[in-house]
Amino acid sequence: MKLRAYLVDDEPLALERLRRMLEQTGTVEVAGSTTVPEEAIAALTNDPPDVCFLDIQMPRFNGFDVLAKLPRQPIVIFTTAYDQYALKAFGVNSVDYLLKPIEPEALERALKKVEGLRQSGTEFQPKLQAMLKQVAESLRETRPQYLERIASRLGDRIWFLDIDRVTHFYAEDKLTYAVSEGKPFCIDHSISDLETKLDPKKFFRIHRSTMVNLASIKEVTSFPGGTLNVRLSDSKGTDLTVARDRVREFKTRAGC
């Protein structure tokens, strides 16, 4: 009998990738998924799955907030881009975690652990809920750890880019690219994902499909209609447009 899984992640691309990976195992049925924490709380309460794949960093509610609001704790596999949370300490055998981008071998390991817990009939201790509330509060108080490097896969090779040398990120044809030294590198992050993982003092989302390294801006020009043109200091003199609804905040952040 297949495991019933429910997926929660604020990034649609991450959800779709995880769904494909789970379906390819042939042992998991994805019962549902959502990018909205409130919807996750309702679904997990009304129809608890065998396992919940839960992102940690989400707007409004983080993953620990979601669990703390559930009347009954499910088996959980956290998905996260960071390893500083020391997730192995939570519930001992009741949770696991996967670092993004999720690798098939790590997913297989986690699923075997879930199946073992399911067969053993493990009941989760009520004290887990109180602990999760404490963790959620601690997580909000902890200083964020922003990305310093980012990986780009090309066939069997992986390139690592220093974040400070990336002039901008852009999305095109459902893919996201990091531009460094004038060259685009495909990365496994969406623009919305990057907005939470990059230092907001250094990077700003100037358009729904573009983020810019503020230190790479050479000049800014006003356009009719209320938009701005940003010219970068790269060798190509790249021009980017600041969306009208982001102009005010951009001027504040860029100091112009």
The pLDDT assigned to 172 comes to 94
Which range (5-9, 11-15, 91-95, 215-219) has the least confidence? 91-95
Domains in the chain with CATH codes: 3-141 (3.40.50.2300), 149-254 (2.40.50.1020)
- Could you give the CA distance from residue 170 to residue 185 in angstroms, rounded to a whole number? 10
Closest alpha carbon to 227 in 218, 214, 239, 215:
239
pLDDT for 139 = 53
Q: How far apart are CA 96 and CA 85, in angstroms?
A: 12
The per-residue pLDDT for 93 is 36
C-alpha to C-alpha distance for 217 and 5, rounded to whole angstroms: 45
Taking the C-alpha atoms of residue 251 and residue 154, their distance in angstroms, rounded to an integer, is 36
pLDDT tens for each residue of 95-131: 667 777 788 888 898 888 888 777 766 555 445 555 5
pTM of the model: 0.52
Q: Tell me the average pLDDT of the chain.
A: 83
pLDDT for residue 68? 81
Residue-wise pLDDT for 26-58, tens only, equals 999 999 999 888 999 999 999 999 999 998 777
**Residue 31 is encoded by which pair of tokens?**
């019962």
For the chain, state the CA radius of gyration.
20
